[in-house]
Every structure is written in structure tokens, then in C-alpha cells.
Structure 1
């Protein structure tokens, strides 16, 4: 559980760093904002699924303003922080049934879903950094080891 909690502390730290950069650099390529909003919306969708609720009406890809991204960063952090406080090692093995955005049913363990959320965001933050560099903006170091230092 400690590893997963550390992943989510890192996730929030990395999201904050991306958000701060995007708040300062207001004239960035829309694709950057779209990727960042996708990360945040996906975090929201997966949290909804972990809670056993229907996520079908929640968007995964939607262009949202940076102010809405800021609110999602905050809300997702609070949601996962509270959720993780109640997760034990045994709960990590609990199976969650959910439907994806196409209506297909899947089952994964809580641990698998939490791991996916952490890795998914890091993948897209790498894409965001590539696009920032293409826009002559210094990429943001969101490496886990930098966070731990």
C-alpha cells in the first residue's frame, strides 16, 4: 500500500507542476491542454468506477479550460487521498466490475486499477512535455525520483 500511496502523492505533485506551467503559459498548443484534461478526466472516471458507480456519462476526452483543470486536480487529489485512506492490502485484491466508454464490461482488481491510473498519467505527461518543447517551453521534470528527492 505504501508504494501505491507514494504513486498517488507523485501523481498529484506532477499534476500540480503541469498545471502551474500551463497557467503561466497561456498561449500553448490546444493539444497540450487536451492531453492534460484527458489525464484528469480519466482519473475522475476511474475513481467513479472504484466507487462502484456508473461512469458512462463522464467524458474521457473533452476540451476544458485551465480553470476547470485546476478544479479537477484539486478534486481528484481529495477523492483519491480519502479513498486510499480506506484501502487495505486485502482490498487491493477486490474485483471491480465496470463498463468502458464503449459499453464493454470488464473486471479488474482495485490494485490493478490504481496502478493503471498512476501509469496512465505519467505516460501522457511525457507527451505533454514533448509538446511543450515543440512550443519552446522548458519541459517539466515530473520524474518520480525528482519527487522523492
Structure 2
């Protein structure tokens, strides 16, 4: 497996994990605001980063916002579509391309496409872990989003 295929597999896992979290949150009767906020943060962040990778302005996109689970479902579909399209057109030589962007505080940064793609995957997994901790604390079975489970 080459590097592009590895990155694509990581994003297949990301999309799978997002769908599994979404399915669980849709079944939970009492909507936990903190859990929904963490999940929407993952999805909004994915949107911000893919926008930056496309060379577009992300300054007006939210990072944190209180939205309901139905809106999260729309974000999951949008994220999966935009990420899949971006990765389909990505060549291995594109991974070292430097992207300039401003963060939500209007500070300028530069990172490689490879570093951004890696960050997005790890950022989402971190927050899905937080979601699972909160689910368990509320007596709800955590969602198995382990990469090895996905690969099985």
C-alpha cells in the first residue's frame, strides 16, 4: 500500500467512525448537549480544513456551534463527499504542497497537505474518544471506532 492509499484508508475509517457515532447519537433519547457539541466540532473542523485544502477562505466557517443531531447528519454527508472528492484527485506529489491559511484568530500559518490530512484524522479520533467517555458516564455503551475494528 502506498502513502496515498494509506491516507485514503485513514479517511475511510474517519467516515465510518463518524457514521457510527452519528447512528448512536440518533438513538440516544436524551440529547446530551456536550456530546452533540463535540461531535459537531469534529464535523465543522473537517469542513474548515477541507475548505483550506481547496484553497478557499474558511474564516467565516464556525469551529464550535450548537446544532442538533439532524444538522450533524447533514454535515457527515457533506464531509464524506468533500473529503472523498479531494482525496480522489490527490497525487502523492501534492502531499508536500504547502497550504497557507488563517486560523479563527486571523493568525497566518503554513503546513503541508500531508500534515493537515494527518491532523484532521487524529483530531477527530481524539474528540470521538471524548464523546465515548461522556456516553459511558451517562450509562450508554461507547461506540467502538477503533481502526482495527474497521479493518476487520
Q: TM-score, normalised by structure 1?
A: 0.99
Question: Would you say 1:130 and 2:133 are equivalent positions?
Answer: yes
Q: Which runs of 5+ in 2 are unaligned?
A: none
**What secondary structure, in the 3-state scheme, does the structure 2 residue paired with 1:90 have?**
helix
Contact 1:29 1:135 in 2 (8 A): no
Question: Would you say 1:92 and 2:95 are equivalent positions?
Answer: yes
Runs of 4+ in 1 over 2 A off after TM superposition: none
C-alpha separation between the residues in 1 aligned to 2:32 and 2:63?
A: 19
Match of 1:63 in 2: 66
Structural RMSD (CA): 0.6
Q: TM-score, normalised by structure 2?
A: 0.97
Contact 1:17 1:142 in 2 (8 A): yes
Query: Please, which moves more after superposition, 24-33 or 49-58?
Result: 24-33
C-alpha separation between the residues in 2 aligned to 1:119 and 1:102?
A: 22
1:45-68 deviation per Cα after TM superposition (whole angstroms, max 9, x unaligned)? 001100111111000000111111
C-alpha separation between the residues in 2 aligned to 1:113 and 1:20?
A: 27
Match of 1:47 in 2: 50
C-alpha separation between the residues in 1 aligned to 2:105 and 2:31?
A: 31
C-alpha separation between the residues in 1 aligned to 2:123 and 2:29?
A: 25
